[in-house]
Amino acid sequence: MLNLLWEAEKSEENMMKKTMMAVAALGATVAFADGIVSSEVVGYTSKDLTKGTGKLSMVAGTFNGVGTDGFQMNGNMTIAGIKGGTAGAIDSDTLLMWDPTQAGGAGGYTTFYYYDDGAEAGWCDPATDDYVEKSAAYADGFPAGSAFWFKAIDGADKDITFSGAVEGADYVEPPLSEGKQLSMIASAYPVALQLNDTACVKFTGLVGGTAGAIDSDTLLMWDPTQAGGAGGYTTFYYYDDGAEAGWCDPATDDYVENSAAYASGFPAGTAFWFKPYTATGRTIRFNKTF
């Protein structure tokens, strides 16, 4: 579900109507506020999380805090059905953020946990055992488009909501790991993502091949329904035969937009692993399209 609440000056009404139609065409539900007071676009995105103890969901924040850069876990993110504890990650829901610099460059996770002692609650930084916003590393929040694993500690129904202000920059380039390392990425904007539309996302330096994932850069999307519910990846590959190129769906061996499953794009907040085939440089630019 994607809902956007727009606030703008009365004098911008015509421009806003055009924007509303553009976003609605991408599958968004758009509403205007009464008593418009500012030009900042605010709203929220919600997503159901995989149900089951130990189950993983790949999630991404597509908003900033209002008037700030970056979103706060304890301000711009809420999880219905959340389970907290007092023993760190042992007895609580967790968020795992990939850090390619850990383990001497092999990579590893920073595991944020949800503390709840009945009197106070919130997401904590394992390095300080205090709320994340009190940590120097995360005081300014996490950039829009930051992606995480959510890991459930119990089998309750849960859903996650990110809210706040839409990223104001015309584009955002997520930092990519060096060499052939994996990078967890997501668009910074709350609209459907069309992988082969350069107006939406522009890749540079991609390596493509003609043999599927064997000889190309890939994007891996987590699917918790695979392997009988154990989960697995759908691996999109970059095809390039020298005459034409684009991201392909492995189920059809055709461009993703020609697949019924992805014809409308990927829902806002969809996160992927980007896996480069070679160690040469790449950039990924997510563009603001409204």
pLDDT tens digit string along 130-164? 999 999 999 999 999 999 999 999 999 999 999 99
| Secondary structure class of 12 (helix, strand, coil) | helix
Give the β-pairing of 245-249 and 159-165. unpaired
pLDDT for residue 21 is more than 50: no
The pLDDT score that the predictor gives to residue 16 is: 32
Average pLDDT, whole number, for the chain? 88
pLDDT for residue 92 is more than 70: yes
Contact 6, 28 (CB under 8 A): no
| Secondary structure class of 231 (helix, strand, coil) | coil
Distance CA 245, CA 239 (A): 5
Mean pLDDT of 24-47: 51
pLDDT for residue 234 is more than 50: yes
Residue among 205, 213, 209, 277 nearest 240 (CA): 209
Mean pLDDT of 21-38: 31
% of the chain beyond a pLDDT of 70? 86
pTM of the model: 0.86
pLDDT for residue 9 is more than 60: no
Contact 51, 152 (CB under 8 A): yes
> What DSSP state is assigned to residue 51?
P
Q: Quick one: which H or E segment has residue 110?
A: strand 108-116
More confident residue, 277 or 29: 277
The pLDDT score that the predictor gives to residue 14 is: 35
The pLDDT score that the predictor gives to residue 178 is: 87
Contacts of 234 (CB under 8 A, 6+ apart): 220, 221, 223, 226, 250, 251
